[in-house]
């Protein structure tokens, strides 16, 4: 009897241990895939910093950083449940929620949920000094890279040219390339200009301005007025890039962090909380993060907030 009872107790203990082990493994298997952009942009270093924060601060999760073609791809991946949080431009988010087929959304992406408004992207048009380009009109007949196909940057490019009374047909040649590839072509004198929608001081343009003489092309305030929300008039401050002596007028658009309805309320709450409670870590990864403010977190949100994010904002008294 003693032997049988001992075996029974041992079996029970093993079952409990296995049960705890299974629970522990399930908890450890909570996964956060952070969808970013090209490695030479701003999304990627900020996404990497965010993934590190989540891995350190949210108990029992594993994280991954995925380099993508940015906004449009990120939103489609989130709708498909192939990421837990992603970066995207405000106009892309709005069009995704509406289901705009022209820019790459086959139907309304109804599973998307908002986490936070973060920093603004600046439309930065940079031309080689030798090209003679100084204004938007000067881009006519020139070779220009407008960003990866159907990316947030490329969508911005279409809107900017349209508001300026131009189109891709006015350009001599249109290249659909990510930031780093555009810069390499310019260095090799195979491209006149690149349009990049990114945070100030983006690595690709810092590299370009350090390698050759460039002109930062202004986007007049009347273009921002024609575009309307979510575009706003802004300036690229003097000294942002090597050789830039003056402030340059341009337009900007707010970036958002987006999740989806399949992410649990607790994980969405923690992703929002750890974002705002670890801003110095993000600022160390890229200066653009200095523009992330809790008080602006729900301004202009183009889609419903995730309930987990909403809980955090109610705790903080901004809802």
- Cis before 10? omega within 30: no
Residue 295 has pLDDT above 90, yes or no: yes
Q: If residue 285 lies in a helix (H) or strand (E), which one and from where to where?
A: helix 279-285
Residue 27 has pLDDT above 50, yes or no: no
DSSP 294: G
Q: Counting beta carbons within 10 angstroms of the beta carbon of residue 299, is it exposed (0 to 12), middle (13 to 18) or buried (19 or more)? A: exposed
Confidence tier at 220 by pLDDT (50, 70, 90) = very high
Per-residue model confidence (pLDDT) at position 41: 87
Per-residue model confidence (pLDDT) at position 135: 94
Per-residue model confidence (pLDDT) at position 107: 96
Q: What is the mean pLDDT of residues 110-133?
A: 96
Residue 87 has pLDDT above 90, yes or no: yes
Residue 40 has pLDDT above 90, yes or no: no
Confidence tier at 275 by pLDDT (50, 70, 90) = very high
Residue 274 has pLDDT above 50, yes or no: yes
3-state secondary structure labels for all residues of 189-201: CCCCEEEEEECCC
Per-residue model confidence (pLDDT) at position 232: 86
Residue 4 has pLDDT above 70, yes or no: no
Confidence tier at 9 by pLDDT (50, 70, 90) = very low
Residue 19 has pLDDT above 70, yes or no: no
Is residue 257 within 8 Å of 34, Cβ to Cβ?
no
Residue 17 has pLDDT above 70, yes or no: no
Which pTM does this prediction carry? 0.80
CB atoms within 10 A of CB 297: 25
Category of 189 on φ-ψ map: left (φ > 0), alpha (ψ -120 to 50) or beta: left
Confidence tier at 156 by pLDDT (50, 70, 90) = very high
With H, G, I as helix, E, B as strand and everything else as coil, classify residue 213.
coil
Per-residue model confidence (pLDDT) at position 312: 98
| Domains in the chain with CATH codes | 30-119+255-315 (3.40.190.10), 121-253 (3.40.190.10)
Confidence tier at 314 by pLDDT (50, 70, 90) = very high
pLDDT-above-70 percentage for the chain: 91
Lowest pLDDT segment from 17-21, 137-141, 299-303: 17-21
Per-residue model confidence (pLDDT) at position 3: 47
Per-residue model confidence (pLDDT) at position 148: 87
Residue 60 has pLDDT above 80, yes or no: yes
Confidence tier at 268 by pLDDT (50, 70, 90) = very high
Rounded Cα gap, residues 276 and 297, in angstroms = 9
The overall average pLDDT reported for the chain is 90
């Amino acid at each position: 009897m003693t032997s049988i009872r001992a075996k029974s107790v041992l079996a029970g203990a093993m079952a409990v241990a296995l049960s705890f082990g299974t629970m522990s493994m399930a908890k450890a298997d909570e996964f956060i895939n952070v969808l970013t952009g090209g490695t030479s942009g701003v999304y990627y270093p900020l996404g990497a910093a965010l993934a590190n924060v989540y891995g350190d601060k949210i108990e029992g999760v594993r994280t991954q950083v995925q380099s993508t073609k940015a906004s449009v791809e990120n939103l489609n991946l989130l709708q498909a449940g192939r990421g837990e949080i992603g970066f995207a431009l405000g106009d892309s988010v709005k069009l995704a929620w509406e289901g705009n087929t022209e820019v790459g959304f086959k139907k309304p992406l109804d599973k998307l949920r908002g986490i936070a408004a973060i920093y603004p992207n600046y439309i930065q048009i940079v031309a080689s000094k030798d090209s003679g380009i100084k204004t938007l009109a000067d881009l006519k007949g020139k070779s220009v890279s407008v960003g990866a196909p159907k990316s947030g940057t490329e969508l911005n490019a279409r809107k900017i040219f349209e508001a300026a009374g131009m189109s891709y047909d006015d350009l001599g040649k249109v290249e659909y390339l990510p930031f780093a590839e555009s810069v390499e072509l310019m260095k090799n004198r195979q491209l006149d200009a690149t349009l990049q929608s990114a945070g100030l001081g983006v690595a690709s343009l810092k590299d370009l301005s350090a390698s050759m003489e460039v002109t930062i092309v202004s986007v007049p305030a009347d273009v921002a007025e024609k575009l309307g929300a979510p575009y706003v008039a802004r300036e690229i401050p003097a000294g942002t890039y090597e050789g830039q002596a003056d402030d340059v007028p341009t337009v900007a658009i707010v970036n958002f962090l987006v999740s989806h309805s399949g992410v649990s309320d607790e994980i969405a709450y923690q992703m929002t909380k750890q974002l705002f409670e670890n801003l110095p870590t993000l600022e160390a990864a890229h200066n653009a993060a200095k523009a992330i403010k809790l008080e602006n977190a729900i301004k202009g949100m183009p889609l419903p907030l995730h309930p987990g994010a909403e809980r955090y904002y109610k705790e903080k008294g901004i809802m």
